[in-house]
């Protein structure tokens, strides 16, 4: 039987682990760390608790069944889903290009792709207007050639949401591609599979969890988009008024309706975090 004491007479220090076996469990935390940690937690949680406390629970069912709420919710779900589909169609190949192909200026391209993450959404909406507006660099050609005008339309909502949400998908998929074992792709290529066959029969199944996680985050970001949407698509009920825009409008005239709409978005956000817990949140 091996003794827990080493030959030098000192006990071996074994870090204790939590129930999940992954996190180290320390003793009592130092006050200089505990106090700001508690304040930070309260800073993030108390506003959400205030939303729940001030919610009009007695009239909640009737308000949720209101035409304005249902229309804004329907439009938000449709546009966020379509925007996510656009991001998948364009973002997955883009992530593959960044992860698998070495080309001059790749770092610059990656930096430009992630700009919408830090760019104020209103600035993104202005940029979309300058490019896709009726007098924009591309928009005037679309209008003159195809009679297509994107600003202040439902399609414009999709464009604005896709613009701000695509970086979440690209970053997630690129990370999954970089973490995937390339030997499976090399083996398939050695057996005579074409590059397209390797991509959709080997690569995509390997990175499927990353694609799903990125798509869910992309959808959630599109659902909550406000600044670029109101700047590029406006705030027209039934056409471009999504849930965040409806919250903004209701806050000026009917604060209780704004709280109800905010609760819906809060529930959706919590559900998404719960679905992605195993991937993005460490277990207790």
Please provide the average confidence, as pLDDT, over all residues in the chain: 84
- Please give the DSSP secondary-structure letter assigned to residue 58: G
Backbone angles phi, psi at 115, to 5 degrees: -55, -45
Per-residue model confidence (pLDDT) at position 33: 84
Query: What pTM does this model have?
Result: 0.81
pLDDT of 203: 85
pLDDT value of residue 245: 92
pLDDT of residue 157: 96
Alpha carbons 214 and 91: distance in angstroms, whole number: 10
Percent of the chain's residues with pLDDT above 90: 40
Are the CB atoms for 234 and 19 separated by under 8 Å?
no
pLDDT at 9: 45
Provide, rounded to the nearest whole percent, the portion of the chain with pLDDT above 70: 87
Residue 24's DSSP bridge partners are 17
Other CB atoms within 10 Å distance of the CB of residue 266: 15
Cβ-Cβ contacts under 8 Å for 21 (sequence gap 6 or more): none
Name which residue leads in pLDDT, 65 or 130: 130
Q: Domains along the chain?
A: 68-241 (1.10.3720.10)
C-alpha torsion sign, points 227, 257, 236, 269 = positive
On the question of pLDDT at 175 being above 80, the answer is yes
Residue 223 near residue 268, CB atoms below 8 Å:
yes
Confidence category of residue 23, pLDDT binned at 50, 70, 90: low
Q: In the prediction, which pLDDT does 181 show?
A: 81
Which residues are paired to 17 by β-bridges? 24
**Confidence band, pLDDT 50/70/90 cuts, at residue 75:** very high
Left (φ > 0), alpha (ψ -120 to 50) or beta: where does 15 sit? beta
């Amino acid at each position: 039987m091996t003794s827990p004491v080493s030959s030098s007479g000192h006990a071996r220090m074994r870090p204790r682990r939590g129930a999940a076996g992954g996190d180290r469990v320390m003793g009592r935390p130092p006050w200089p760390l505990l106090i700001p940690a508690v304040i930070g937690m309260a800073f993030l949680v108390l506003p959400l608790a205030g939303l729940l406390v001030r919610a009009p629970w007695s009239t909640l069912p009737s308000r949720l069944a209101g035409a304005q709420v249902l229309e804004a919710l329907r439009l938000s779900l449709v546009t966020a889903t379509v925007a996510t589909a656009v991001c998948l169609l364009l973002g997955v190949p883009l992530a593959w290009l960044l992860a698998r192909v070495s080309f001059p200026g790749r770092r610059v391209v990656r930096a430009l792709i992630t700009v919408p993450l830090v760019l104020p959404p209103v600035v993104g909406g202005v940029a979309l207007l300058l490019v896709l507006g009726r007098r924009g660099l591309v928009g005037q050609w679309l209008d003159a050639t195809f009679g297509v005008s994107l600003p202040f339309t439902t399609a414009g909502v999709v464009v604005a949401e896709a613009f701000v949400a695509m970086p979440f998908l690209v970053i997630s998929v690129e990370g999954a591609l970089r973490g995937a074992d390339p030997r499976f792709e090399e083996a398939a290529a050695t057996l005579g599979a074409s590059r397209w066959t390797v991509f959709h029969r080997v690569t995509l199944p390997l990175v499927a969890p990353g694609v799903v996680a990125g798509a869910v985050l992309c959808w959630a970001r599109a659902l909550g988009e406000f600044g670029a949407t109101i700047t590029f698509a406006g705030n027209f009920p039934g056409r471009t008024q999504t849930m965040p825009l409806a919250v903004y409008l209701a806050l000026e005239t009917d604060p209780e309706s704004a709280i109800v709409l905010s609760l819906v978005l809060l529930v959706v956000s919590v559900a998404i975090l719960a679905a992605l817990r195993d991937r993005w949140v460490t277990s207790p």
